[in-house]
Structure 1
């Protein structure tokens, strides 16, 4: 098949490969000939073939496998957050908030101002803008502007798109939040793994990523997904010191757990850093269907982000903005959010204690899920749990490197289990490990 590739320029060669792929002659996984071989067959300079493969890689049509060569990409099924489809098992890998703890929006809907918003008006509701500024100013030691996006993932995608080109490198936590992995891969960027320990992103890992030329860093300052780790003050200070020599690297902090977190907010963003964004969505406490996030950024990033919004989603619905503001300023709702935060913390701590009583290390962390370390492959344990009626997520799904060693971690969402179900899961997990 690959001997049908034609062309004398990089653009012609790339276009030929694209055509063969579109017609199904080159299928996903099909290897392309080595650069020297292709250049010799086509009678072109080796650099021309290299440039063609680079164009294809930047377009996401091929991927380099190192010594295994370059292969055609496909539309691979990738793990997604949320409930697994079509399963009769008890799903403890969802990462979802408890729907019983999400405030009812009905009272707020009755109090939303009814004035219509027309083209050309400010895209951010004035009241929400003022509230968001106060919310962020308490934690961000830098001048900032507020942009409203359709959730945190939307904010991250647009932030990367306004700052990067295809094949630019992005530092990601490893293990990593699934949406961040997908966003970076679908954008055509290169993910550089930064290990995460119990204090969050590691200093040596970040330093290595910066040495590798990353142009953006995506960090979860607290309740890191999937590990639940939160930055300590000492770790955050050390990371800021490393970033001080890279003021134009875009820092994106996804503080997704914000109002539910039991940990103080510690930031990578120093007062003199030039490109940054602190993103806080309302999905975890007002519900995933409230697709709204606050992005506090430097002025230039705010201008670029506004330009990225304008071609498609010109603004986030003002009805949604007013609904969020009405709930966020309602004392009854904020009391419900505080109660939900306490519930998640208490249930996760109780489950972790049960595991430790049975010899399974499970540090109490922040977030909606627990990161449970196992003495053997998580896939084996997960398969044994399936036979006992449970569906869990293994750490393999959150690894940046598909060729990494099998994970020894499970991510478990257990806050909605009652005491009896929690005890049953622990017993089944202990049996599966043995």
Structure 2
């Protein structure tokens, strides 16, 4: 598709494209000309086109996709976690923890309120002291600083904003956690996909991303969402060795499952790293509405975060901070979190066995969900399961890169009772058998 673009300044180029996008003349997914090509056609400096595309990215009108170029953004709602609000189907694609396993905050809340005034420290001293002990395992740095943000996504957004400029490249796992992908794209950064295998982020993938000029990397050390993969000791050591050659690349370690994880932590943050942060959210074990995460980081990164978390404007509520501290230091609550961890692991493992026995091999991994590889197109399996009363989540939205990445479902099954789990396993296996047979006979495409 040839796009007629005019203008001599960044503002003129951006305004012309914006008008055409808003009128629907350039539909979502339209590939804009490469920067160098457009600059040559218009007879302007390359930086003029970069600035024009940046203005459009800031307005959410285009997305920079690395080697995939700059494309017109889809203004429709992006994929995200949570329930489908208006469905009569049984939703097994939510990504949610079991509400019955989230601790009741009522008693702790009564002990958490006291007036806090402008100018007081942004971090509750008690939470900071507890978090410092909790956050520093395996960190080879003595200058660790603690910051509190409104959840892990808020932390990632602030970390990238204080370290990067728009159009900078960020390495993300592929497939990728939806909120991280959304944060990077809406921030105007270029997402560079790094493949994930059974041991987590791949070494060759990271090495290629570093060669492509990334300035930050987001890594999930365990319970990777959506695949459930956790870094092994050998893989983490290899990733640390690669990152050691790039000490000023910002390394963000998102240990989102932390207290619930059944896998040991193997960090990618080595002693050579100068810009780093580890994030642990409370959302999986205290509930999504907790909206609080703790970040451990180097001093310079912490200073950058502190500028955006100032007293009197953007600090995290001290009531919420003290409530969090009261819950995570309560022996009964911690015992409940451990029971929840065992429950998630056992239910996912049981469902993985059920599918494997029915001819759909699955490895349970770690985390709230199951990542199910399919022998046929995921969209067709989803449609078949909808007819049987199930709402499932396809794997496609989690992938950054183009091309054939295989067919997957991400299922949230830990709250199914035994009978429902058997029914879903039967229905999914039956759908795969029927669709594979139809594909083999030529009645449908695989």
Q: Same fold (TM over 0.5)?
A: yes
Maintained 8 Å contact 1:166/1:187: yes
In the alignment, does 2:262 pair up with 1:266? no
Maintained 8 Å contact 1:222/1:228: yes
Secondary structure, aligned partner of 1:14: helix
- Mapping of residues 152-231 of structure 1, within 5 Å: 152-231=152-231
Comparing 380-389 and 223-232, the one that deviates more: 380-389
Cα distance, 1:314 vs structure 2? 2.0
In the alignment, does 2:416 pair up with 1:428? no
Deviations along 1:53-94, whole A, 9 cap, x unmatched?
322322314457899986544513321101112111111111
Cα distance, 1:407 vs structure 2? 3.6
Deviations along 1:200-241, whole A, 9 cap, x unmatched?
000000000000010000011000000000000010000000
Deviations along 1:257-301, whole A, 9 cap, x unmatched?
000000111110002310001000110000000010000000000
Look up the match of 1:145: 145
Secondary structure, aligned partner of 1:158: helix
Cα distance, 1:37 vs structure 2? 9.2
Secondary structure, aligned partner of 2:289: coil
- Mapping of residues 16-415 of structure 1, within 5 Å: 16-18=16-18, 21=21, 24=23, 26-29=25-28, 44-45=42-43, 47-48=44-45, 50-59=46-55, 60=57, 61-62=61-62, 72-112=72-112, 114-143=113-142, 144-310=144-310, 314-401=314-401, 403-405=402-404, 407-415=406-414
Distance 1:433 1:328, change over 3 A: same
Distance 1:198 1:11, change over 3 A: same
Maintained 8 Å contact 2:122/2:309: no
Maintained 8 Å contact 2:63/2:188: no
Cα distance, 1:13 vs structure 2? 2.9
Secondary structure, aligned partner of 1:309: coil
Cα distance, 1:17 vs structure 2? 3.4
Distance 1:32 1:368, change over 3 A: closer
Secondary structure, aligned partner of 2:122: coil
Maintained 8 Å contact 1:177/1:398: yes
Q: Which whole-Å CA distance do the structure 1 matches of 2:192 and 2:63 have between them? A: 15
Cα distance, 1:377 vs structure 2? 1.4
Q: Mind listing any 5+ residue stretches in structure 1 that lack a counterpart?
A: none
Deviations along 1:335-372, whole A, 9 cap, x unmatched?
10011001111111111111111121111210000111
Maintained 8 Å contact 2:65/2:192: no
Q: Which whole-Å CA distance do the structure 2 matches of 1:40 and 1:145 have between them? A: 47
Maintained 8 Å contact 1:170/1:184: yes
Maintained 8 Å contact 2:62/2:70: yes
Q: Which whole-Å CA distance do the structure 2 matches of 1:70 and 1:248 have between them? A: 27
Comparing 372-381 and 211-220, the one that deviates more: 372-381
Maintained 8 Å contact 2:123/2:318: yes
Q: Mind listing any 5+ residue stretches in structure 2 that lack a counterpart?
A: 434-446
Cα distance, 1:409 vs structure 2? 1.1
Q: Which whole-Å CA distance do the structure 1 matches of 2:3 and 2:431 have between them? A: 51
Q: Please, what is the CA RMSD of the aligned residues?
A: 2.5
Maintained 8 Å contact 2:103/2:336: yes
Q: Which whole-Å CA distance do the structure 2 matches of 1:27 and 1:406 have between them? A: 28
Cα distance, 1:108 vs structure 2? 0.5
